[in-house]
Amino acid sequence: MIRIGITTGDPAGIGPEITEKALRFHYPQSDIIYVVYGRWMKSKHGTAPVKITHAEEAVKPGRIYHIEIDDDSILSGNGSTLSGFIALKILTRCTEDINSGYLSGLVTAPVSKEYIHPHAPDFMGHTEYLAERSGISDVIMSFWGPVFDLALLSTHIGIRELSGYLTIDLVLQKLHTIIKEYSKIKPKPRIALLAINPHAGENGMFGHEDFILREAVVEFKKTGVIIDGPFPADTFFAHHLLNYDLVISPYHDQGLIPFKLLSNNLGVNVTLGLPYYRTSVDHGTAYDIAGSNSASPVSMISAINWLENRLSREKTAQYSYRIFAEYYDNYMSHVNYSSWIDMILLEYNRINGKEPESILELACGTANVACQLTKRGYQVSASDNSPEMLHIAASKQYAPRLYLADMTDSIEGKYDLILCLFDSVNYLTKITLVEKMLLNVCEALTDNGIFVFDVSTYKNSIDNFTDFVNLEQDEDFFILHEADFEEKRLLQRTNLTMFKKGKLGYIRSEETHLQRIYPLAEINNAIVKSGLRISKLSSPTSERNLSEILPEVLEEQHERLFYFVARK
């Protein structure tokens, strides 16, 4: 059993907010348990954690638990010695649990050293605190990002102390720890060491500290380590950065300024050398925005994912729209969502003679349909299996209640109207999965409830997605959309290659979507098998009921079809 502890940091900062946002749509692996220590921010989205008083009570894998350590008098944005006291109390409790073996790894949210100092004058930061509590004398502050990884020879010390601090013995010891620990995760890394002084000291003209670094590099090269330097820091990032996996910086800000600039909130702070993995966000308490619901959870999500990937024995859950989620709304801007909603509500009213009181949208994506329904005053819930899509949906003004779920998961509650639109059903590539979804929907519909879904047809794939190539572009990105239809297997494969403008040029990423184009007879049989019946079958271009027309004829005539189904 793997328990990961997460501290929410200073309760007056953004730690509680980013922790809740990061976990509300998170997929814990089935061998992972999360235990959150501190303040939990309530939200209408996702599922609330299970409250416990001790980490031993967290026993069910795949779940999130909460140990409350808080003071209700602390207001978001108002950092104080009281909020510092609570932050220290949270960290102390979590550290005791991990050192006692109740936890396997630790993720920490930001704290204020200023407000902790009155209660712990020697507190210099998480890194030093955790090392002392673990009885470790040599730990390394490192940062892992999308462009490069960084390790520091010194952490929270002033620049005037650096010269006397970095002796040859200490540098050799630090480099040994960095190389040993980093190589456990990335074997045979290419390492660059930055110089301390301008122009790497100019052979002693600007200081002698870099002679020590040069001597250390020579020593490690003898052992087969791939390490170069010391490089003048002012030119390294412009000319040499992309040739190396790990950059080692003698001084805190020297490496962290370019790291934070290039990582764009995706960086993860990792403490190397502890008897367990500890990760953290790469930013501070941000009191100025705490309580405004505007804090980004991106760095916390990265910290959680990094740790889970190291500890879990299982592969990360696979689903579509991980990367493409960021571009989805722009890509779908041509869709007239209002017309789809009007058509569906009109038909629902025709069948039942009234408005639906409760609505659920499955595979909601970024919830464009659900948000418009919420804006119109309907009670709406929505789900999707992509955390990235749901995070975007939750940021919208009229966001419904959102939760993480697959189309085939069981549905809690009863609904008058359930939707599954934009050929989402085609993403279920086995008919048994379609049947499972339909059975769950049948159970979740009220007596007169209606389920509306659409499917992409054979005609659509043949006419529009055989050897299809399209390029979408904007100021900051462009997307190459390639699709092909495997007619024999009735599989439509979509390859998306995305190029996003970054600080060092464009960053390339890829994603593949696979859809099954079902013969309509298969869909019809699955509907009947599930205990549902077809009330109406229509196309986007006609309100006529097409349910009496032979399925094979419809497949040749229409690119998309809407099913309106009800319980038998």
Ordered DSSP codes for 483-504:
EEEETTTTEEEEEEEEEEEETT
Which DSSP letter does residue 243 get?
Answer: G
- The label of the residue with tokens 């870099």 reads 210
Which DSSP letter does residue 323 get?
Answer: S
- Determine the pLDDT at residue 159: 78
Strands 50-52 and 64-68, sheet pairing: parallel
- Determine the pLDDT at residue 317: 56
Quickly state the pLDDT bin for 202 (edges 50, 70, 90).
low
Mean pLDDT of 381-409: 96
- Determine the pLDDT at residue 318: 61
Smallest CA-to-CA distance from 83 within 17, 132, 127, 39 is with 39
Quickly state the pLDDT bin for 565 (edges 50, 70, 90).
very high
Opening angle at CA 373, ends 364 and 385, nearest 5:
10
Q: Give every CB contact of residue 406 below 8 A, 6+ residues apart in sequence.
A: 319, 385
Omega before 49 cis (within 30°)? no
Is the CB of residue 520 less than 8 Å from the CB of residue 429?
A: no
- Determine the pLDDT at residue 475: 84
- Determine the pLDDT at residue 198: 76
3-class DSSP state of 334: coil
- Determine the pLDDT at residue 87: 97
- Determine the pLDDT at residue 130: 94
- By mean pLDDT, which of 330-334, 344-348, 420-424, 561-565 is the weakest? 330-334
- Determine the pLDDT at residue 314: 65
Query: Of 20-34, 311-325, 394-408, where does the model show the most confidence?
Result: 394-408
Mean pLDDT of 49-59: 95
- Determine the pLDDT at residue 503: 73
Smallest CA-to-CA distance from 421 within 379, 456, 450 is with 456
How far is residue 249's CA from residue 269's CA, in Å, rounded to a whole number?
Answer: 14
- Determine the pLDDT at residue 425: 97
Residue 399 has a CB neighbour count (10 Å cut-off) of: 20
Show the domains of the chain with their CATH numbers. Answer: 1-137+275-317 (3.40.718.10), 147-263 (3.40.718.10), 325-456+518-567 (3.40.50.150), 461-516 (2.20.25.110)
DSSP 378-425: -EEEEEES-HHHHHHHHTSTT--EEEE--TTS---S-EEEEEE-TTGG
Query: Does 544 score more than 60 pLDDT?
Result: yes
CA distances from 299 to 90, 95, 284, 378, 396 (A): 20, 22, 11, 34, 20
Q: Which secondary-structure segment (H or E) carries 256?
A: helix 252-263
> How confident is the model over 497-538, as pLDDT tens digits?
999 887 777 888 899 999 999 999 999 999 999 999 999 999
Is the CB of residue 126 less than 8 Å from the CB of residue 91?
A: yes
- State the virtual CA torsion across 152, 123, 181, 270 in degrees, nearest 10: -80
The partner residues of 484 in beta bridges, in order of sequence, read: 493
> How confident is the model over 119-176, as pLDDT tens digits?
999 998 998 999 999 999 888 999 999 889 999 998 878 777 787 778 888 889 999 9
DSSP 196-215: SSGGGGTTTTT-SHHHHHHH
Omega before 198 cis (within 30°)? no
Residue 384 has a CB neighbour count (10 Å cut-off) of: 28
Query: Does 541 score more than 80 pLDDT?
Result: no
The amino acid present at 533, given as its one-letter code, is R
- Determine the pLDDT at residue 177: 93
Tell me the whole-structure pTM to 2 decimals: 0.86
The partner residues of 478 in beta bridges, in order of sequence, read: 473, 499
Quickly state the pLDDT bin for 204 (edges 50, 70, 90).
low
Mean pLDDT of 391-411: 96
DSSP 512-564: EEEEE---HHHHHHHHHHTTEEEEEEEBTTB-S--TTS-HHHHHHH-SEEEEE
CA distances from 297 to 22, 87, 265, 300 (A): 6, 19, 9, 5
Determine the angle formed by the axes of helices 337-352 and 368-375, rounding to 10 degrees. 60
Strands 268-272 and 64-68, sheet pairing: unpaired
Smallest CA-to-CA distance from 2 within 217, 312, 416, 214 is with 312
Query: Does 118 score more than 90 pLDDT?
Result: yes
How far is residue 194's CA from residue 228's CA, in Å, rounded to a whole number?
Answer: 9
- Kindly report the length of the chain: 568
Opening angle at CA 108, ends 87 and 297, nearest 5:
110
3-class DSSP state of 430: coil
- Determine the pLDDT at residue 176: 93
Query: In the chain, pLDDT over 70 holds for what percent of residues?
Result: 97
CA distances from 330 to 334, 340, 347, 443, 471 (A): 9, 18, 29, 35, 13
Mean pLDDT of 212-238: 91
- Determine the pLDDT at residue 201: 52
- The label of the residue with tokens 């550290």 reads 95
- Determine the pLDDT at residue 207: 63
Q: Would you state the structure tokens that stand for residue 240, as one six-digit string?
A: 């040499």
CA distances from 529 to 292, 340, 438, 456 (A): 49, 28, 9, 21
| Chain mean pLDDT for the chain | 92
